[in-house]
Amino acid sequence: METRDKNKIRKVAYSILLSGIFVVSSCEDFIDVGTPQTQLTGETVFEDSATADAAMANIYSKLQTDVLVTGGPNGLSVLMGAYADELVSYSNYGLPDERFFTNNVLPDDAAVLALWSDSYNLVYAANAVMEGVSNSLSLPQADKNRLLGEALFVRSYIYSYLTGLYGSIPYATITDYTVNTALSKKTTSEINQLLIADLQQAVTLLPSEYVSANRVRPNKETAMALLARIALNEGRYDLAIEASGNIIAQTSLYSLASDLDNVFLTDSPSTLWQLAPATEGLNTLEGENFIFDTTPPHTRALANALYNAFEEGDLRKEQWIGAVSDGESSYYYANKYKLMLPTGTSQEYSIQFRLEELYLIRAEAFARTGGLAQALEALNTIRSRAGLQESTAQSQEALLEAILHERRVEFFTEHGHRFFDLKRYDAATSVLEPVKPGWNPTDVLLPLPQNELNVNGNLLPQNNGY
C-alpha cells in the first residue's frame, strides 16, 4: 500500500478515536458519562506509532485553540489576567472576561463550566492514551515510554491548573465511568503530591531530545519544569531547587535570549515547550486578543497600575508593551506576541514554559529556605537581561517581595501567573481588595460549576462564598 493511502487510513482511525474522546456533553464532564460509543478499541488505534502520536497531538491542539491555556478569550491569560490586576475590560459584548474583571463570577457562569468540563475532557483523552499505549502489543518500547510520559505530563499540567482554580477536585486516572462517578474530591495538597509522583515518573520516561520541530512536544525537561513549579507551590523547596537547577544546567538546550524581542519567536532559545497554531501561517491567539489599534479598546487593555509597576529603564516595558493614544489618553496592550495577522510561515507559537520561570522558581525557593545569596544570583540574572541593576534586597522578606515584583513584570498575561503567584504568597486579598470592587477573600477560588454539582453529589460542598 502506498504511503499516502496508509496516512489516509491513519487519519481516519485517529479522527474516529478522538471524536469519541470529545463527544462529551457540554454540561457534564467525563467523570459522569460512559465510554463514547464511537471510540475505536485501543488495539486498533495504538498498534501504530503514527496514530498514537496523533492522539496526543490532538490534545495539544485542543489546548492551543480551545481549552485552559489557549490564548483566546476563554483561556487563563485573558480570564485570570482580568480576574487579578493585569487587565481592564472595556467590552460590553458579554465576553467572559467582563465578568471576571468585575468579580461577578457565579456558579452558573458558562466560562466557569467550560474551564472545568473542557479540561476534564482532555484528562479523559490523556487517560485513554495511557490505557491504549499500556495495552499495546505492537508499539516500540521507546515510543510507549515517550507517549506515556507525554500523557502523564499533560494530565498533570491540566490538573495543576484545575486545582489552582477550584481547590479540591476529583482526580481521575482511568476512563472507567463507573469508577470516576464515585470519586470524591481531593485537597490541593493531596493533588499536588500525586502530581509530583506522576511527574517524577514522566521525567524517567521522556527523552531530553525533542521529537518534533519547534519544541511542540514536551520533553524530559518540560516535565521537570512543571515538577519545579508544583514543588514550589507545595512548599517542597529542595525539590524545586533541584529540578530548576537541572534545567538551567542544560546550556546546550536552553539559554536566555539576549534580545527581548526574540523571546516569543518560534526559535527562542529559552522556550521549553510551546503550542503550534492550528494552521501553518497563523500565529498566536494571544496576539489576536491582546493587540489593538483604536481608542478606547474594544475589548481589553493592560491596567495602568501594571504599566506603572515597571522600573525606569526596564527594557520589558519598552519591548513587551504597546501603546495607543487618542491625544488625551493612552491605552496599553501586551506586545509580547507581536503578530495578529497570518504570515507566510508561523513566526510565533504560544509558549507554555520558558527558562525565565525556572530562574525565578529557583530564586524564590532559595529565598524561602534562607539561601539569600543564591536567590539574588538567580533573580539578578533575569533583571540583568531586562537592562536593570542588581536588586538591593537584603532581608528574606525584601527579597521575596522583589521576586514577586519580578514575576509580575516578567510573566504578565501569561496563563494566570499573577493570580497564582498572589495565592502562593497569601497576598491575593491584600493586593486585590483595594483595586477590585467586590473582591472577597473567598474569591481565591472560583465556584464549582453548578451544573456539575447538580449531577454529581460527590462534588459537594460548593466552595465557600458561593
Mean pLDDT of 294-309: 96
Is pLDDT at 6 greater than 80 in this prediction? no
Separation CA 296–CA 311 (nearest Å): 26
> With 0-12 CB in 10 A as exposed, 13-18 as middle and 19+ as buried, what is 244?
buried
Residue type, 451: N
Average pLDDT over residues 422-432: 98
**Confidence band, pLDDT 50/70/90 cuts, at residue 102:** very high
Q: Cβ(257)–Cβ(263) under 8 Å?
A: yes
Average pLDDT over residues 1-28: 40
Give 316's contacts (C-beta < 8 A, 6+ positions apart): 260, 310, 386, 409, 410
The CA distance from 337 to 382, in Å, is 19
Give the per-residue pLDDT at 38. 37
Choose between 67 and 178: higher pLDDT: 67
Q: What is the mean pLDDT of the chain?
A: 91
Q: Is the pLDDT of residue 16 over 50?
A: no
How is residue 30 annotated by DSSP? G
Contact indicator for 110, 18 with CB cutoff of 8 Å: no
d(CA 266, CA 77) in angstroms, rounded, equals 19
Give the model's confidence band at 159: pLDDT under 50 very low, under 70 low, under 90 confident, else very high.
very high
* Segment 287-308 mean pLDDT: 96
| pLDDT higher than 90, residue 25 | no
In a domain, 155, yes or no: yes
Looking at residue 378, what is its pLDDT?
98
Our count of domains for the chain comes to 1
pLDDT per position as a tens digit, 308-355: 999 999 999 999 999 999 999 999 999 999 999 999 999 999 999 999
Q: Is the pLDDT of residue 138 over 90?
A: yes
**Average of per-residue pLDDT across 60-64:** 98
pLDDT recorded at residue 92: 86
CA nearest to 26, candidates 126, 129, 96, 112? 112
pLDDT digits (tens, 9 = 90+) for 109-133: 999 999 999 999 999 999 999 999 9
Report, as an integer, the average pLDDT of 402-428: 98
Q: Which residues, at least 6 apart from 368, have a Cβ–Cβ distance to it below 8 Å?
A: 235, 237, 396, 400
pLDDT of 43 reads: 56
Residue 308, in any domain of the structure? no
Q: Specify the DSSP element, H or E, that contains 141.
A: helix 141-166
* Whether the predicted pLDDT of 219 surpasses 70: yes
Mean pLDDT of 149-164: 98
> Within a domain: residue 14?
yes
Band of pLDDT at residue 438, cut at 50, 70 and 90: confident
Q: Which domain holds residue 36?
A: 1-74+105-207
Res 93 pLDDT > 90:
no
Q: Does a structural domain hold residue 295?
A: no
Q: Could you tell me if 78 and 87 are in contact, meaning their C-beta atoms sit under 8 angstroms apart? A: yes
- Label each residue of 302-335 as H, E or C: ECHHHHHHCCCCCHHHHHCEEEEECCCCEEEEEC
The stretch 452-456 carries a mean pLDDT of: 92
Tens of pLDDT, residues 170-198: 999 999 988 988 899 999 999 999 999 99
Q: What pLDDT is stored for residue 430 in this prediction?
A: 98
Distance CA 293, CA 322 (A): 9
Query: Is pLDDT above 60 for 2?
Result: no
Q: Dump pLDDT digits (tens) for 362-390.
A: 999 999 999 999 999 999 999 999 999 99
Check residue 261 and report its DSSP letter.
G
pLDDT tens per residue across span 234-268: 999 999 999 999 999 999 999 999 999 999 999 99
CATH number of the CATH domain containing 63: 1.25.40.390
Tell me what pLDDT residue 172 has. 97
Determine, yes or no, domain membership for 188: yes
- Does the residue 133 lie in any domain? yes
The three three-digit cell numbers of residue 433, written as one number: 481588595
In a domain, 457, yes or no: no
2-16, 101-115, 189-203: range with lowest mean pLDDT: 2-16
* CA distance to 38, 118, 131, 231, 338, per residue, from 22 (Å): 10, 9, 16, 31, 32
Q: What is the mean pLDDT of residues 62-80?
A: 97
Residue 328 lies in a domain: no
pLDDT of the residue at 41: 41
